[in-house]
Structure 1
Amino acid sequence: MESAPPAFARRPVLLLAGAAGLLLLAVSWRFGYFGDELYFLASWRYHLSWGYADNPWLLPLLARAMDAITPGSPLAGHVLAALLHVGGILCTALLAREFGGGKRAQLLAGTAYAISLQLLASGHILASSTVDPFLWTLICLLLVRWVRVRNEWLLFGAGLVTAVAMQGKWLIVFFWITVAIGALILGPRDLVRRTGLLSGALITLAATVPTIIWQVRNGWPYFAMAQAAQSANDALFGGRLSIPVMAIVFAGVLLGAFLACHGTWQLLRDRRYADYRFLGLAVVLLVVLFTVMSSRYYYVAGVYGLVFAASAARVERVRPAAWWRWVPTWPVAALSALITIPLTIPVLPLAWSTGLQFSVSGTIGWPEVAATTATAYRQLPSEQRARTSVLAETYWQTAALEIYAHDRLPRIHGVERGYWYYGSPARPGPVLYVGKEATRQYLSRFFTGVREVGVTRLAAPASNINQGVRVWLCTGQRAPWPQLWNQLHRY
């Protein structure tokens, strides 16, 4: 017979979620679109499809819907991101309740989610890293509740949420693989054959078929993107062994990092969590899997809420060990918040921002990049301008040109991610190449003539990603476009 969980701490949890939401809303108007937001919006406007090289269709749809509400402004998208973050806080508090946690545990788990480095930063922008954690946390809540009450509709609901998650990113597949392995090893073994779950899986498969067909027709760029993620991880963070370390660090300063490790351990060893031990094993397997694959550290952010809740319920129930007793919980949470908030969302003056604050740096300067490019194009001789193509280095830059200078430039091409699949310029001729990483020496490998004709100047710190983006005029192709296009391709 099922045991009733503690009462939901409605007032304090709603106050916490409301405070987090108000904080995000207060900064939602600052600066402009994030690079991914521009990419999703441009994908819907100019390249509508069932699939893209790096994501299915959900994020472009959401970006377009939000743009319809506040045309030309990212405000609605940022509001949606804030609401998803609030939803994650509520689901995490309810997870703590399912684990037997009362008011203190629910509030502690929700606080850890609210001020997690990764989750709070994502709560300011509309990206797959915003949508996935909420959906994963909701799935975890439905799954944990099913273990307690064995209601088949909960598993069916988890399947429906999975169907939605699959339209944003396919990472949820790895979550269910590890859950299935954990259940087969530790029980409940009947989970993998429950009617509710299998029905949800069929709906998920049916909803994903159009994207699968697109991937097949385009040579499965999804796997190439996985290899690119591995290369980026090796270059930026020193290899795959950095993934578990980064996952812990970005779970949260002080509070989140502790609860993440402690919660995983408690799911694996605490006898009160015996029925949920398979989820602890799934978390470990997920981290191992993404480490072996050398993926992104934030791919595991979707299970933060689960382990936060397990830890918080345990901390409330059992007096902490001697080495931890002297640390007062709420002052630690307050200190964590004071450190996290300035690092993740735009609460400080622009002059104080750094390139590490991706949710700030990635929202500044896109109209200026487009204006610099349009000016360089307009200043070309008319005869040359008629034959000139525009090529951007990154998918963010390409999207910015499409959104902000679509009517001032010829067709805009990109060599990164999904843009490469839209094809090269149709004929030989001069090229305006927009980028920050490319040098004259690099571009000279593809063109005989390369000269700088524009550079973006911003009233922002030098570390901003759009500070110093250059426009190069490239002439004299060294090879036909099909050959150059393959050489220029980057993920």
Structure 2
Amino acid sequence: MIRRSDVQSERFYDTIALLAVVSGKFLLHVGVNFSGGYGYFRDEFYYLACADHLAWGYVDHPPLSIGLLWLSRTFLGDSLPALRLLPAIAGALVVWWTGLIACEFGGRRFAQVLAALAVSIAPLFLAIHGFYSMNSFDHLFWVLSVYILARLIKTHNPRWWLLLGFVLGLGLLNKISMLWFGFGLTIGLLLTPLRRYFLTKWPWIAAAIAFMLFLPHVLWQIAYDWPTLEFMQRAASLKMVLKSPLEFFGGQILGMHPFTLPIWLSGLYAYFGFKPLRRFQIFGWIYIAVFLFLFFNGASRDYYLAPAYPMLFAAGAIVIEQLTRYRRRPWLKPLSLILLLIGGLITLPLVLPVLPVETYIRYQAKLGIAPSSEEKTALGQLPQHYADRYGWPEMAAAVARVYQSLSPQEQAICGIFIENYGEAGAIDFFGTQYGLPRAISGHNNYWLWGPGEASGEVMIHVGGNLTQLQQIYTDVRQAAVFTCEYCMPYENNLPIYIGRGLRQPLDEIWPLAKNYI
């Protein structure tokens, strides 16, 4: 007879083991962020600028992550460790709930730890949880939705639908791609006995809750003539590198780490071929539906499917745990954990800035890995997720020197036009120490914010084409060139111009500056 105290003791040690993995993941990110981590990432400057303009939507994302950033910045400031605390917490919670999902599926301590460790060492999760963006919260909303759905299946309590609707609504308010989960959920319901719920009120109430939470953003889209649709269409055609289905599948293997492949493939199989998990078959259909949608899309990035993997890791870890118990292969337990740790250490420098940059470049070359990009841009010595962290303070200082070369009268009316939101956000962030005016740009939400107080009579242009600028101004001269060894090539040897005498009023030519991409 199993005593209740023994069960409680087992659960306590299960929790301690899972917390050890969660803590390791969290402390790794915190440590890297306190070390400086190569600096702020391009998109982080843009999100900080968005947090200065709170709204129910933005051209390229819904508002929730920006609202959270505003709260974080208000109470913690905008230092690198403070800025990246929330994604580190979100990443740790993804690991935690992955372990809990394995527990809901009937997994014991080893399965919970194995599933959590697989998420922890996956390169895509490490990279995305290492800087501020809506993607870390997207992972969290997915894994929460999976956990809630697992509880619904286990308990047969339809009230779990209410919480699921709430989480899906928040997920949509964070990132529109949460619709992919809704798509997969619908397919999964139709293809499993859970379709019976369509004859009840509960999923419809859940859908209504999600829609009502998402409604403010929909109204914002309507008010601004659906800018996100234009952004998505232009980004897919002009920015994203088209991938073959095989390239996308290969990206999944690398993004989740090759050493975890047996785990998530076992998990996908388990939902259909492993009797203890067949009642959770809906999760297999969710993965297949979303995978096929992205697989044949052509313009899908590798990380789009990342939030679907924790539910596969949870199921796959149970399969491996069963192998160790019933096939008498206890050596599989330590071997699995050790292999994941070793594999994670090998790929860690590729996704988190744990090495000095010169050492990283040598390490990358020794592994035989060339920098790659999912965008139509040339690369330098570093992959884009590292190159986009270099040169920002120096760029702001270079612009400040040009600004300070102007007379006080010209400084009073000078504007600063920037080609992209990363550069504009960096000028806004670092420019305050030099007394620079806020940057203006045609890129995404910067275009919606408009030209501000700039008149166009005197304008500093960072980047751009001299011939085109001469058509806009009566007088244009190159005042400086910004150089940066490790940044993206299109931001190295970047000319900085001063334009005087706008040929047309700024408000008349501003519509031509729009660049949703």
Helix, strand or coil at the partner of 2:35: coil
In the TM superposition, 1:276-295 aligns within 5 A as: 276-293=280-297, 294-295=299-300
Q: Is the 8 A contact 2:444 2:514 kept in 1?
A: no
Shift of the alpha carbon at 1:350? 3.3
Residue 336 in structure 1 maps to residue 336 in structure 2: no
Q: Is the 8 A contact 1:454 1:471 kept in 2?
A: yes
Query: Among 293, 297, 300, which residue is 2:302 paired with?
Result: 297
Residue 217 in structure 1 maps to residue 223 in structure 2: yes
Residue 417 in structure 1 maps to residue 444 in structure 2: yes
Q: Deviation string for 1:100-153 (max 9, x for gaps)?
A: 222221111100100111111122212111111111111111112211111233
Match of 2:24 in 1: 19
In the TM superposition, 1:78-477 aligns within 5 A as: 78-192=84-198, 194-231=200-237, 234-235=240-241, 238=243, 242-251=247-256, 253-293=257-297, 294-318=299-323, 328-353=335-360, 356=382, 360-382=386-408, 384-406=410-432, 408-424=435-451, 427-435=455-463, 438=464, 440=466, 451-457=477-483, 461=486, 468-474=493-499
Shift of the alpha carbon at 1:52? 0.7
Match of 1:70 in 2: 76
* Alpha-carbon distance between aligned partners in 2 of 1:489 and 1:305, rounded to the nearest angstrom: 36
Q: Is the 8 A contact 1:229 1:295 kept in 2?
A: no
Q: Deviation string for 1:400-446 (max 9, x for gaps)?
A: 222222572334211211112222476443432224xx554675676
Match of 2:375 in 1: none
Q: Deviation string for 1:437-485 (max 9, x for gaps)?
A: x554675676676543233445x63558865444233457677654564
Q: Deviation string for 1:298-348 (max 9, x for gaps)?
A: 12111111111111111221369x9xx899423321221112221111211
Q: Which amino acid aligns with 1:78?
A: R
Q: Is the 8 A contact 2:477 2:499 kept in 1?
A: yes
Q: Is the 8 A contact 1:85 1:134 kept in 2?
A: yes
Shift of the alpha carbon at 1:398? 1.3
Q: Structure 1 residues 440 and 258 mapped into 2: Cα distance closer, same or farther (>3 Å)?
A: farther
**Which sits farther off after the overlay, 297-306 or 7-16?**
7-16
Q: Is the 8 A contact 1:7 1:97 kept in 2?
A: no
TM-score, with structure 1 as normaliser:
0.87
* Alpha-carbon distance between aligned partners in 2 of 1:90 and 1:138, rounded to the nearest angstrom: 10
Helix, strand or coil at the partner of 1:152: coil
Shift of the alpha carbon at 1:201? 2.7
Q: Deviation string for 1:261-301 (max 9, x for gaps)?
A: 33223324434332222221221111222244423321211
* Alpha-carbon distance between aligned partners in 2 of 1:364 and 1:301, rounded to the nearest angstrom: 26
* Alpha-carbon distance between aligned partners in 1 of 2:65 and 2:338, rounded to the nearest angstrom: 38
* Alpha-carbon distance between aligned partners in 1 of 2:239 and 2:426, rounded to the nearest angstrom: 25
**Which sits farther off after the overlay, 64-73 or 370-379?**
64-73
Q: Is the 8 A contact 2:143 2:311 kept in 1?
A: yes
Q: Structure 1 residues 356 and 243 mapped into 2: Cα distance closer, same or farther (>3 Å)?
A: farther
Q: Which amino acid aligns with 2:308?
A: V
Q: Structure 1 residues 462 and 234 mapped into 2: Cα distance closer, same or farther (>3 Å)?
A: closer
* Alpha-carbon distance between aligned partners in 2 of 1:398 and 1:487, rounded to the nearest angstrom: 14
Q: Is the 8 A contact 1:13 1:110 kept in 2?
A: yes
Q: Structure 1 residues 464 and 197 mapped into 2: Cα distance closer, same or farther (>3 Å)?
A: farther
**Which sits farther off after the overlay, 79-88 or 403-412?**
403-412
Q: Deviation string for 1:36-55 (max 9, x for gaps)?
A: 2222221122x221111111
Root mean square deviation, CA, Å: 3.2
* Alpha-carbon distance between aligned partners in 2 of 1:476 and 1:291, rounded to the nearest angstrom: 51
Q: Deviation string for 1:216-251 (max 9, x for gaps)?
A: 11111111222244236643x546663333233212
Helix, strand or coil at the partner of 1:167: helix
Q: Structure 1 residues 75 and 468 mapped into 2: Cα distance closer, same or farther (>3 Å)?
A: farther
Q: Structure 1 residues 411 and 81 mapped into 2: Cα distance closer, same or farther (>3 Å)?
A: closer
- Sequence identity of aligned pairs in percent? 25
* Alpha-carbon distance between aligned partners in 1 of 2:442 and 2:48, rounded to the nearest angstrom: 18
Helix, strand or coil at the partner of 1:473: strand
Residue 29 in structure 1 maps to residue 57 in structure 2: no
* Alpha-carbon distance between aligned partners in 2 of 1:472 and 1:98, rounded to the nearest angstrom: 61
Q: Is the 8 A contact 1:346 1:359 kept in 2?
A: no
Structure 2 unaligned runs (5+)?
Answer: 1-6, 362-380
Q: Which amino acid aligns with 1:416?
A: H
Q: Structure 1 residues 194 and 122 mapped into 2: Cα distance closer, same or farther (>3 Å)?
A: farther
TM-score, with structure 2 as normaliser:
0.83
Q: Is the 8 A contact 1:125 1:359 kept in 2?
A: no
Q: Which amino acid aligns with 1:413?
A: I
Structure 1 unaligned runs (5+)?
Answer: none
Shift of the alpha carbon at 1:7? 4.8
Q: Which amino acid aligns with 1:57?
A: P
Helix, strand or coil at the partner of 2:309: helix
Shift of the alpha carbon at 1:175? 0.7
